[in-house]
Amino acid sequence: MRTRLLLSCGLALLSAAATAPGAAIAAPLPPPIVAAPSAIVIDRVTGHVLYAKDVHHERPMASCTKIMTALVVVERCPDLHRYLVCPAGTGTSSGVGLRPGDRITIRQALLALIVRSANDAAYVLARAVGGSQPGFVNLMNRRAARLGLSDTHFGNPTGAIRDPGHHSSVYDLARLGRYAMRNPAFRDLVDRSRAVIRWPPDHEVIVTSGNRLLSLDWVDGIKCGNTPAAGFCLVGSGRPGLRWLVTATLDAPARDVDAGDHVALFEWASTLYERKAVVTKGQIVRRVPLSDGTALDAVAQTTLTRVVRSAAKIVRSVTLPPSLRTPPPPGTVLGSARYSADGVVLGTVKLVVAAPSPTPSPTPTPAATAPPGPA
């Protein structure tokens, strides 16, 4: 309850600031002050960085490690209902109480991994998918390299072990989170604050997530973590406004403080977007020369409306014939215009010959009156 109240208050205060009477809509709000030494917000659609604070500093990332652990598993295991047998040594790790010889489905182990942050589930999955823990860590690092995560190196699948060779940055974690959220199986795992982990013969363990952001209905993940060396770490995903966003922090001083900072970052970044008509129906996009020296107007056939970053430059790419010999009838499709912003295509509209402007009716000329005759 206390956490819900803290997050709700943060939301209300920021919303009030955004809609305060007399606030200049065109002037963006300043970003919030964030307690974590490293923090970032990116656009989940375009990847555009909206806020950055010491984003490439390599730090331990605690159980945010398990984002990559889960991603490697779901990408390599199409059948999540397949059973795994827990190997020797399973019971030595904290988690949900798995023991050597237990059988558990991949999906149940993944739920334990993400929701409970269970280390025993991480080791079971690592050995099953990678053949051994070192083999699985190699898969994690190869995947990080393919994603271009140059600040990241994994030493284990849990993040619970203090290891100078195990590190990442908020820049890499946000990019990893953005990529992972494209996977439906991954999204299903991280978008829950509670789960019941079951395995034969009759084991049932209720687990809850430490991710405070999941108490908000506009959040759909991702993962939190904490160790003495890493501090409090969090990667979040949500859409409090018009746009899906991803946030990440490392080494925050406290979990509630960290969650509140993420809410503030989400809300602030949402103010940077608007829904706008990129081009409207009938708008002249370009004039096409005719052989007689005149030109005709190529206009948008339809209106294209999209959510875009208010400060983004909209780029237009037009495909039209360089000239025409004779004017085609009005409404004839001549080509197209493609619009993009922040490196992502917003859409394409057809360009058609403009309808002729209606000719205004001539103003009647008043009848001439004869000059008055002599009295």
**Residues annotated as part of the active site:** 63, 66, 117
DSSP secondary structure code for residue 228 in this structure: T
CA distance 272 to 292: 48
Q: SS3 breakdown of the chain: % helix, strand, coil, rounded to 5?
A: 30, 30, 40
Closest CA to 240 of 261, 260, 269: 269
Closest CA to 248 of 234, 268, 230, 269: 234
**C-alpha dihedral sign at 260, 264, 269, 274:** positive
CA distance 34 to 96: 34
**Integer angstrom CA distances of residue 277 from 44, 73, 120, 207, 307:** 21, 42, 52, 46, 9
**Integer angstrom CA distances of residue 97 from 67, 109, 176, 196, 375:** 21, 11, 29, 13, 124
Name all contacts of 290-298 with Cβ < 8 Å and 24+ positions apart. 290/323, 290/324, 290/325, 290/326, 290/327, 291/323, 291/324, 291/325, 291/326, 296/324, 296/327, 296/353, 296/354, 297/353, 297/354, 298/334, 298/335, 298/351, 298/352, 298/353, 298/354
